[in-house]
Structure 1
């Protein structure tokens, strides 16, 4: 893929409206959980629980101790960015043409940010490098979740899901959603009844029905990214996971310098280029790790 986009070689003289945006990316976590604005300096959420059951009190009887546990979870936004060089002919193009560029770029950035949310929150990695991020630290599912079902040879994926749900519900917690890797969704789609018909026909041909047996479901390759053994993640996405953004900076057009620190491409002005950059402060938090369970492939 080229490092510099040149309008003269990539586009016709008259730029057609509505550029076809081939950028891919989506977030299963964002689809299953609630987004809320996050202050620039972070957000502290408190998880609250009453530790015991209600108590019967006899007439004139003494009341016993109940108790409550309040635990804080801090969500601190981190900065993500994306930039690209284009020919400085962009600066002299018509306003309509410039808007087409900026719209396509900002939409592409939104898709990359959505995919990045999954990769960062699932695996704790920098999406660009694929390497564990010290900025994220332990604030990701792979590190936080201890409820794990390991897929064994001959296992039914249906049984794996039931076992994972049981790990959560045995702790009297709710399950609101299931995220699957494509290979796990495919295994589930192949299951058949005793009569030979498909057990889950709504999953046939790669379809994503949105719900399965009344449970919200999403399929994403982000869960099994790289060498990850993650194949399924069930849990209370509606109440035990939070995400949001603190500030979304509009696309910036940079005309001078070397904003991407590329020693080969060098100075923008010296190469008749400008730089488009978008940034966002994005944060998330796993409020209760016990409310989630992984289904993982064997090592």
Structure 2
């Protein structure tokens, strides 16, 4: 089986399954458009007409309208995950090996999904929780300067104000990401008759919409000890792009100390499974988003 060699790729079925799982567990993948990403990177352009349309009288003078064309370069970066398993894996039947790879695929998909959100929302290395020099300023926390201060008693008003902030900048909102604390605060709000104002959020409810907006509840929006974000609203459908390189390497390493743990694989009857994925993303227009932040 090709994927069990010392160097190989996920089988196409596992790759498709992996990306489908990522789409279901990453807020950014749920709310935004995936685009194919060249391994060497690519440019996405935002096009805008700078002025309103002009009315011209008969024999009247025409004036310049003007256009703005802004490129955003999306460069894929490497994310990896590895784990030690007993070297009995190497001697297991092909069916058993495939079962192990499917389980690894499941876990890797969850980590990739969280990793995409954490890096793109906050510019952090998901494993260390500190700012990544590889990501740099390519994150919502760095690029999105429009903010609304969160009020625990009126979370709906905060979200509505955030939406208005985007719309006042002549942009549109297509989605909202909130953390579980905001979800809980929404569930506790009462109508004038004492009934829950948003019953769909009670008992851990995670509806897919709020008002007319697509919604995702995910604590990745608040990941990190220094992060103040409670929610982000904006035009995820059009102004955020992400994608991945289709080749996803999987290696079964039999020798050495690939995770720098100080333990030799052969000395402990182990092999090491390592998967890597190259993902890139771009925030095409920061003014199309607003962050709802705690004080």
The TM-score normalised by the length of structure 2 is 0.89
In structure 1, how many angstroms separate the alpha carbons of the residues matched to 2:224 and 2:278? Answer: 25
In structure 1, how many angstroms separate the alpha carbons of the residues matched to 2:65 and 2:228? Answer: 42
Partner of 1:293: 290
Kindly indicate whether the alpha-carbon contact (under 8 Å) linking 1:179 and 1:217 is maintained by their aligned counterparts in 2.
Answer: yes
In structure 2, how many angstroms separate the alpha carbons of the residues matched to 1:207 and 1:251? Answer: 37
In structure 2, how many angstroms separate the alpha carbons of the residues matched to 1:155 and 1:173? Answer: 28
Partner of 1:176: 174
Matches within 5 A, 1:182-201: 182-201=180-199
Partner of 2:14: none
Kindly indicate whether the alpha-carbon contact (under 8 Å) linking 1:248 and 1:279 is maintained by their aligned counterparts in 2.
Answer: no
In structure 2, how many angstroms separate the alpha carbons of the residues matched to 1:203 and 1:290? Answer: 29
Q: CA deviation at 1:100?
A: 0.8
Partner of 1:85: 84
Matches within 5 A, 1:1-299: 26-152=25-151, 155-227=153-225, 228-263=227-262, 265=263, 267-298=264-295
In structure 2, how many angstroms separate the alpha carbons of the residues matched to 1:294 and 1:192? Answer: 25
In structure 2, how many angstroms separate the alpha carbons of the residues matched to 1:252 and 1:100? Answer: 16
Deviations 1:20-58 (A, max 9, x none): xxxxx9211110001111000001011110000000011
Larger Rg belongs to: 1
Unaligned ranges ≥5, structure 1: 1-24
In structure 1, how many angstroms separate the alpha carbons of the residues matched to 2:98 and 2:261? Answer: 26
In structure 2, how many angstroms separate the alpha carbons of the residues matched to 1:242 and 1:248? Answer: 19
Q: What secondary structure sits across from 2:248 in the alignment?
A: strand
Unaligned ranges ≥5, structure 2: 1-23
In structure 1, how many angstroms separate the alpha carbons of the residues matched to 2:196 and 2:247? Answer: 45
Kindly indicate whether the alpha-carbon contact (under 8 Å) linking 2:153 and 2:185 is maintained by their aligned counterparts in 1.
Answer: no
Deviations 1:103-126 (A, max 9, x none): 100121111000100000111010
Kindly indicate whether the alpha-carbon contact (under 8 Å) linking 2:256 and 2:266 is maintained by their aligned counterparts in 1.
Answer: yes
In structure 2, how many angstroms separate the alpha carbons of the residues matched to 1:132 and 1:279? Answer: 20
In structure 1, how many angstroms separate the alpha carbons of the residues matched to 2:218 and 2:130? Answer: 20
Q: CA deviation at 1:210?
A: 0.2
CA-based RMSD: 1.3
Stretches of 4+ moved more than 4 A in 1?
A: none
Higher helix share: 2
The TM-score normalised by the length of structure 1 is 0.88
Q: CA deviation at 1:250?
A: 4.0
Deviations 1:167-191 (A, max 9, x none): 1000110000110011011111111
Deviations 1:149-177 (A, max 9, x none): 0124x751111111111110001100001
In structure 2, how many angstroms separate the alpha carbons of the residues matched to 1:85 and 1:53? Answer: 61
Q: What secondary structure sits across from 1:175 in the alignment?
A: coil
In structure 2, how many angstroms separate the alpha carbons of the residues matched to 1:248 and 1:208? Answer: 33
How many residues of Structure 1 are paired with residues of Structure 2 in the alignment?
271
Kindly indicate whether the alpha-carbon contact (under 8 Å) linking 1:106 and 1:251 is maintained by their aligned counterparts in 2.
Answer: no
